[in-house]
Amino acid sequence: EVQLVESGGGLVQPGGSLRISCVASGFNFNIYEMNWVRQAPGKGLEWLSYIGSNDISIHYADSVKGRFTISRENAKNSLYLQMSSLRAEDTAVYYCAREADIGPHFDSWGQGTLVTVSS
Amino acid sequence: SYVLTQPPSVSVAPGKTARITCGGHNLGSKSVHWYQQKTGQAPVLVIYHDTDRPSGIPERFSGSNSGNTATLTISRVEAGDEADYYCQVWDSSSDHKVFGGGTKVTVL
């Protein structure tokens, strides 16, 4: 069974940094492209970032480019999102999502981790 | 950047048909994917590549895409279909994924 489990969310002050993680199981993580998607409270889904299976291809939404960094560690079946210069509007549930092998759509999602940016 | 437009809400009686639209410029030239998100849960893929259903998704869910509009159709609506539904495409010009604003389906 495919599983994606996010962790690392919490309360952080404006201007602060936080790294969230996603551990994958039940599939060959090494060959799948991965993404981060977030959802602010009461709002819709917002795609944030993509990373190819081999780290070479990376893309960011304009809203986070220059502040967030996506990375992966295939040996640990793990996906990361390093977030810096956090703002109140970054408050959201952050999901990791597996890109389908016949994508680009998302065929598996984690349960999400809540990041709250507040003083 | 590419924009997808969805109606905020759709209401439907049990047993009837719900149609959720997703609009975008020349959308018919792109592949559209649909997700269902129930309250407090992660999204679930229900339609991909305009018309395909993942395994485990009931045949009551179907999709179409032509011109500037894609449509998710839910036939014989059940109470358990009450959820938010999002359309999504890949914008090749920016290499970004794009979501519509979402449509809340209420079963009367």
Each residue of A71-96: b (16+ CB within 10 Å) or e?
ebebeebbbbbebeebeeebbbbbbb
Confidence of residue A54 (pLDDT cuts 50, 70, 90): confident
User: A2, A45, A93: best mutation site toward chain B, by most B Cβ within 10 Å?
Assistant: A45
- Give the contacts of A34 (CB within 8 A, at least 6 positions apart): A22, A24, A50, A51, A72, A79, A96, A97, A98, A99
Q: Which residues of B touch A112 (CB under 8 A)?
A: 42
Asked if A94 is an interface residue toward chain B (Cβ–Cβ < 8 A), one would say: no
H/E stretch holding A83: strand A78-83
pLDDT (tens digit, 9 = 90+) per residue, B36-80?
Answer: 999 999 999 999 999 999 999 999 999 999 999 999 999 999 999
What is the Cα–Cα distance from A68 to A49, expressed in whole angstroms?
A: 9
Confidence of residue A48 (pLDDT cuts 50, 70, 90): very high
Kindly give the pairing relationship between strand B9-12 and strand B103-107: parallel
Asked if A114 is an interface residue toward chain B (Cβ–Cβ < 8 A), one would say: no
The answer to whether the beta carbons of residues A35 and A97 sit under 8 Å apart is yes
Kindly give the pairing relationship between strand A92-99 and strand A106-109: antiparallel
What is the Cα–Cα distance from A86 to A118, expressed in whole angstroms?
A: 9
Nearest-Cα residue of chain A relative to residue B33? A105
Q: Which residues of A touch B43 (CB under 8 A)?
A: 45, 95, 106, 109
The answer to whether the CB atoms of B1 and A62 lie below 8 A apart is: yes
Q: Nearest by CB to A105, which of B1, B45, B101?
A: B45
pLDDT (tens digit, 9 = 90+) per residue, B1-33?
Answer: 999 999 999 999 999 999 999 999 999 999 999
